[in-house]
Amino acid sequence: MRCLVVADLHYSLPQFDWLLAAAPEFDLVIFAGDALDVGSFVDFRAQIVVVKKYLALLSGITKVILCSGNHDLDERSAEGEKIARWIGEARELGIVCDGDDLTIGDTLFTVCPWWDGPLVKQRLEDQLREASARRPGRWIWVHHAPPANSPTSWGGKRFFGDVDLVQWIARYQPSMVISGHVHQSPFIHDGSWFDRLGETWVFNSGLQPGRPPVYIVLDIDDAKAFWLPAGDARYIDLKAPLARPALPIVQPPAWLTTLDRIADPNLAKPEPMAG
């Protein structure tokens, strides 16, 4: 199984276009929150309509997981807590979203909502507890905020991660946690796109403008994680202990060559014929 991981696209339509073009190469697309942008000049309701159209197209290509981030919150619940109601509605499109689980082979994916108050937080805690009782060999969480006190949540002056997530990881020891939220972590001193807490690998792709977005590829069968920012390509061995820095990709796999051509359409153009 090969998974494409993105987060924090923030209504960047060129990045959504790239995502559609890249999706056929993957068994699963994991969108770890912040599809929308509360600071955009585009009306929030219009953003939701457009992004849901992209999600409908994506779900016709491959399986899709989407969790909410803080930029995705569009309503308040009856109890007054901020929620991403539109993401729940994406379930009608075949998207696996907040509060859902997805099992593929021996891997269980748990999709965590962004919580803004004690009620949603309690529902998330209940969700993790119930899923832990039936976890298979591999358990992956999709949770927009990375854990606190991890390089994946380092902002340059302080950590921006989730303290409760650290406790949940210690309690349940999932195989991986996929996040986003702290845009600069992978690109700054003392930050990183990967970490390990106990037996749990943690990932944060980071954010870069332009096409393509920065992304992570999880090759579950080969036990490798690849990080692909602009102008670089790194990977780690998920069977090995935590080690830094990540390794450069010396022999690109075939899917990466294909994605390079999607990122730069000029690479896909044939040479002009002589004569």
pLDDT at site 266:
54
pTM: 0.94
pLDDT at site 274:
34
Beta partners for residue 178, in sequence order: 142, 203
pLDDT at site 116:
87
pLDDT at site 272:
33
pLDDT at site 265:
53
Q: Which of 210, 209, 128, 207 is nearest to 162 (CA)?
A: 128
Question: What is the 3 state secondary structure string of 176-241?
Answer: EEEECCCCCHHHCCCCCCEEEECCEEEEECCCCCCCCCCEEEEECCCCEEEEECCCCCEEEECCCC
The whole-angstrom separation of Cα 239 and Cα 41 is 45
Question: For tokens 């997805």, what's the residue?
Answer: 102
Contact 245, 48 (CB under 8 A): no
pLDDT at site 1:
95
pLDDT at site 264:
65
pLDDT at site 231:
86
Q: How would you classify residue 71: left for phi > 0, otherwise alpha for psi between -120 and 50, otherwise beta?
A: alpha
Which residues of the chain carry a pLDDT beneath 70?
Answer: 264-275
Where in the chain are the domains?
Answer: 2-268
Please give the CATH architecture assigned to the domain spanning 2-268. Answer: 4-Layer Sandwich (3.60)
